[in-house]
Chain A
Amino acid sequence: MSTHPKTPDVDNATLEDRLYTVKYEDPGDSHLDVKVPGFCAERCDTDDCVDVCPADVWRKEEGDDVPTIAYENCLECGSCRFACPYNNVEWEYPENGSGVTYRYG
């Protein structure tokens, strides 16, 4: 007998569905970038930006030198900026009210 035979199932939404709950207006260009690609390529082997991001904005596949940035997913928390040990995240506020809009917050 399992310890918790009747723990109810919680249907957690996928990240895609979660992000879909948030209104987003594309600013056209990414508000995120890396300052010096060489830092990511040569110095970084921990990918802290990838590990911290709650929205899967920062992605690094095997063999990538520099993360790709799915800026359209960004919830504008800024955690990547604080996480990067090389201070190598370029972060600007999206312009003119674009980016994420929370209804509840």
Chain B
Amino acid sequence: MTTDRETETGGTDSEHDGSAGGLPSDRTASNPNYDGAFDAVVVGAGLAGSAAAVTMAREGLDVLVIERGASPGAKNVFGGVLYTPTIRELVDLDDAPLERYVAEKRFGVLSTEDETAVSLRPGEWHAEPHNDSYTVLRGDFDEWFAEQAVDAGATLVTETTVTGLLRDDDGTVVGVETDRPDGELRAPMVVLAEGGNSLVSEGADLKGRPDRGDVAVAVKEVLEFPDSDDAIADRFRLSDDAGASYHYFGEGAVGDAFGGAFIYTNDDTVSVGLAYRIEDAVTGQPDPERTLDRFKSHPAVAPLVRGGRTIEYAAKTIPEGGADAIPELVHDGAVVVGDAAGLVLNNGVHLEGTNMAVESGYHAGRTVASALADDRTDAAALRAYPESLNESFVVQNLEHYEWLMETVREDRDLLFRDLPRAVADAGEEYFRIDRQPKALHAENAKTRLLRTVGGWRGAAKLAWRYRKVIS
């Protein structure tokens, strides 16, 4: 078993020569002949890659994880909540760099001036394991999770970019090309965990370039509050390690676009950002940065973020094509996991991806170990990976909500613009204080809502159309 302790402990500033301690001395930085030294190469040390690496290393495989960033997580961005049921099975989370557990979920619909929100603070969420929902920062968490893979026996090299795949005469993937000198590296299996901007998988024709209607562009800021130590606890009504996850929809969040915005509380920072379809970003909607400015200045949002100093600005693309957009996951000698496989659920209520990444990495890792035990790397021997993924929550959830995206797209103006306005107006009317009887206000509020949805018949149709959101 070979472990690269230098890389593990080297941090972001030290030099990495790509050599792995413990390998035979003929393998040097200028001649890194690792061919055949590893059973599997994992491309990318994000959550999917490290989950696969932990799983395979525990199964006794020699695993090499190649990360293009200076450290795991250095190139990674996400909204901010990690769901941990599977991670908790794989590693001990006690020492993990978790920020806060999610004690409140808030869903707010924003018109340009108004907010109408539903907030949930179940008492149960204060008890461990806190509904397996924690805010994290990927720079910390991914580095820690990759260390768990190294502790399990995997080798990690950073600052190394995989530029392509090696194939034999039959087309079977037999290794990777990297940007290191003589950087070809042969191994029986390659796990592609390179994220949503998956150049290697696309370049090797393992998947096509996703349609821009299936990809969202996201921007995020991490804010700190230099003038107020208690800003986060006070503004979000939090104590101890409790945290909040706020989600926003409607034109006050992302304008005319199809998407949403968010605020998540970290330990002593707040993550604020938004995501919307690239298809919309290229039409009328202002660019992502301007849209973020506008969201932060919304009357319902500004009090939460005012005085915040931006300590990081980040951007990412999110594959949101759902079950129909999942590419072929197994190939001769290779499997695709995580964002690269399009495993992201965004139905407006559940915004999940990292748990799907971990789950896919886990199933892929188990399948690779099992196939290699039989001396096989062909796609047929790897079918257990997509099959187990199909039976898991990952594909079941994606398929359950597959209908939603298309339906929401058809109803976009109603759901994101007209209805939020009507709900805010109806609320204003319903609670209006004057010298009129309450019954009159209630009637007016009802009329306002019904007019927007097309009467009782329209309301019934709408309820029927969206019944599966909560079923």
Contact surface of A with B, Cβ cutoff 8 Å: 3-4, 7-10, 12-13, 15, 17-19, 21-22, 46, 48, 51-56, 75-79, 81-83, 85, 87, 91-97, 99-105
A79 adjacent to B278 (CB under 8 Å): yes
Residues of B within 8 A of A79 (CB): 215, 217, 278, 281, 315, 317
The 6 closest A-B CB pairs, nearest first, are A97-B159, A78-B197, A105-B138, A18-B313, A48-B282, A77-B315
Q: How many Å lie between the Cα of A82 and that of B278 in the bound state?
A: 8
A105 adjacent to B315 (CB under 8 Å): no
Q: How many Å lie between the Cα of A56 and that of B2 in the bound state?
A: 43
Interface-lining segment among B169-177, B296-304, B405-413: B296-304
Residues of A within 8 A of B310 (CB): 13, 17-18, 21
Taking a contact as CB atoms closer than 8 A, the residue among A10, A48, A56, A101 that contacts B306 in the complex is A10
Number of B positions contacting A (CB below 8 A):
63
How far is the CB of B171 from the nearest CB of chain A, in Å? 24
Residues of B within 8 A of A76 (CB): 75, 197, 315
A93 adjacent to B138 (CB under 8 Å): no
Asked if B160 is an interface residue, CB under 8 A from chain A, the answer is yes
Taking a contact as CB atoms closer than 8 A, the residue among A18, A82, A103, A105 that contacts B289 in the complex is A18
B69 adjacent to A96 (CB under 8 Å): no
- Enumerate B137-185 residues with CB–CB distance to A below 8 Å: 137-140, 142, 158-161, 163, 179-180
B70 adjacent to A101 (CB under 8 Å): yes
Taking a contact as CB atoms closer than 8 A, the residue among A4, A21, A75 that contacts B315 in the complex is A75
User: Which of B196, B210, B217 counts the most A-chain CB atoms under 10 A from its CB?
Assistant: B217
Taking a contact as CB atoms closer than 8 A, the residue among B16, B180, B212 that contacts A82 in the complex is B212
B74 adjacent to A101 (CB under 8 Å): yes
The residue in chain A whose Cβ has the minimal distance to the Cβ of B159 is A97
The residue in chain B whose Cβ has the minimal distance to the Cβ of A19 is B313
Provide 26 A-B residue pairs closer than 8 Å at the C-beta atoms, listed in order of the A residue.
A7-B299, A8-B306, A10-B296, A10-B305, A15-B289, A18-B310, A18-B313, A46-B282, A48-B282, A51-B287, A56-B289, A77-B217, A79-B281, A79-B315, A82-B209, A82-B210, A93-B199, A96-B179, A97-B69, A97-B70, A97-B74, A97-B158, A102-B139, A104-B140, A104-B269, A105-B137
Q: How many Å lie between the Cα of A93 and that of B202 in the bound state?
A: 13
B314 adjacent to A22 (CB under 8 Å): yes
- Enumerate B207-241 residues with CB–CB distance to A below 8 Å: 209-210, 212, 215, 217-219, 221-222
B306 adjacent to A9 (CB under 8 Å): yes
Q: How many Å lie between the Cα of A13 and that of B305 in the bound state?
A: 13
Residues of A within 8 A of B69 (CB): 97, 101
How far is the CB of A43 from the nearest CB of chain B, in Å? 15
Asked if B311 is an interface residue, CB under 8 A from chain A, the answer is yes
User: Which of A3, A81, A99 counts the most B-chain CB atoms under 10 A from its CB?
Assistant: A81
Q: How many Å lie between the Cα of A52 and that of B212 in the bound state?
A: 11
The residue in chain A whose Cβ has the minimal distance to the Cβ of B294 is A12
Asked if B249 is an interface residue, CB under 8 A from chain A, the answer is no
Residues of A within 8 A of B140 (CB): 104
B217 adjacent to A54 (CB under 8 Å): yes
B317 adjacent to A78 (CB under 8 Å): yes
Asked if B262 is an interface residue, CB under 8 A from chain A, the answer is no
Q: How many Å lie between the Cα of A92 and that of B282 in the bound state?
A: 22
B293 adjacent to A12 (CB under 8 Å): yes
How far is the CB of B20 from the nearest CB of chain A, in Å? 17
Taking a contact as CB atoms closer than 8 A, the residue among A21, A83, A85 that contacts B312 in the complex is A21
Q: How many Å lie between the Cα of A95 and that of B158 in the bound state?
A: 11
Q: How many Å lie between the Cα of A87 and that of B142 in the bound state?
A: 32
Taking a contact as CB atoms closer than 8 A, the residue among A21, A78, A97, A103 that contacts B139 in the complex is A103
Residues of A within 8 A of B76 (CB): 102, 105
A102 adjacent to B197 (CB under 8 Å): no
Q: How many Å lie between the Cα of A95 and that of B302 in the bound state?
A: 39
How far is the CB of A97 from the nearest CB of chain B, in Å? 3
- Enumerate B63-107 residues with CB–CB distance to A below 8 Å: 68-70, 73-78
Residues of B within 8 A of A92 (CB): 163, 199
